[in-house]
Structure 1
Amino acid sequence: MSTTNGSTAAPIALITGGSRGLGRSMALTLADRGVDVILTYRTSVKEAREVAARIEAKGRKAAVLPFDVGKSAGFQAFAMAVKAELASVWKRERFDYLVNNAGTGIGAPFADTTEEQFDELLNVHLKGTFFLAQKLLPLIADGGRILNVSTGLARYTFPGYSAYAVMKGGVEVLTRYMAAELGPRRISVNVIAPGGIETDFGGGAMRDVELQKFVASETALGRVGVPDDIGGIVAMLLAPETRWLTGQRIEVTGGFKL
């Protein structure tokens, strides 16, 4: 497989929050398609190493780095750590795909949302996405890809998630600006907006049976999502065939509230 810079080496994807849930599925699915992976974790080091071991069992290379997307003061040091991993594991200076996946879910009614909750969501989802991509730009290959992660809640409303949805709405606007400004380097930038996915995100809310029944009843395809629904879409959006796609929002909700 060729990389975006024309070499014969495998492409390298950096996935934030790759130890569990959606990030785990993204990492494993990309590995199945011949992509090497750098994945980050905040607290789940055991799970991250297990994902890396599974990637290597598929014949791909993997690296694991600790990272807190909510603390922008550490972004430059993280970029240097990525540069060191690229040099030591791959003998390369750049990677090909950045997937801004790491996040946190805080649910609270608009009237009860605290400034502390708001700031945490801001730092993780909007400020984190903005400045992490900025710091990693020198390490992303020309012709590479950036894929941001939003939420279906930026289109439809679900009481209790106003602050979270606002941040993700900002990520969607940011995606278009990044696509326009990074176009001269042939870096495409898109955003996916998942719906309800059965993971432990947000305290595992989507594992509740009654909530699943409600979501399924409002979904055209008749069920809640599973992580591999998202992993497959990410692999598709990073494939060579989608190189002409940029600045787009792709909702992955199974048709929730159409």
Structure 2
Amino acid sequence: MELRQLAYFVAVAEEGGFGRAAERLSIVQSAVSQQIRRLERELGVPLFDRSTRHVRLTGAGERLLPEARAVLAAAHRARQVAADIRAGTDGVLRLGILQGPGDRIYRMLNELAAVAPRLRVRPRRLPLPARLSAVRSGELDAALVRALTNAPGLELLPIWTDPLYVALPAEHPLTRSAMLSLEDLAELPLRLAPREDNPPFHDLVTDACRVAGITPPQGPPFTTFHETLADIGVAAPSWTVFYEVAGLPEVPRVAIRPLAEPALTTSLAVPPGPPTPAVRHLLDVLTRLT
């Protein structure tokens, strides 16, 4: 059974004849008659009574007419949805997200809903390697990543930057400054998480220190973020560097100061080549929010 056969069937029923249906469809009458006969053979029932001067629906034809109309309407809706998906205004956008300030993610989703209200965003929070692998395999359409400068097989499109912050003892003389530079911290032991915990961020900090011409002494081991900050407040002077995730922490005897540079860049990892319409909408929204 073909959609065109159903369309011819509906046209003949609505026009009351093969000739008028052919005119409506802009085809020859013989083509309409041929396709209707094929449809009747496939269904195993006559659809029209041809014994009179006027073509009339049989009982079977009368029963099947609303079903044919429903099928054609569903096909029309499917074509429309496909067209909207091609335009990026409908469909599903599978997006890898990262832990961070929720307001920015919520604003992104709200803006995207205003631009493409039928586009459903399906966010997934995965570790960085799994996030990148999912974009490469097509499991995700795009993924937000921090501090990453290279991702083989993917394109990284910078989206926004965030400042880094330094945590150091509140009584240290450096806290008199409203903002610190890496050069200010050159002699103070640095507590930095092992590279395997977060390679892009670790490389960002160590590369920035090298560019600044400093090699801070290695501080005590970095355990967890909150344990490390608590220890900074009571142990021998040291410092650590971090980015904001859920607001700046308040820890007794610990001061937080912004770091002049480097900044932390968040990028959108996408497959190479022109972005899909849905990803293009996302990029437009992210550009407006920065």
Flag the structure with larger Rg.
2
Q: Which has the higher contact order (CA 8 A, sep 6+)?
A: 2
Fold agreement, TM-score > 0.5: no
TM class, shorter-chain normalised? under 0.3
Structure richer in strand, relative to its length:
2
TM-score when normalising by structure 1: 0.26
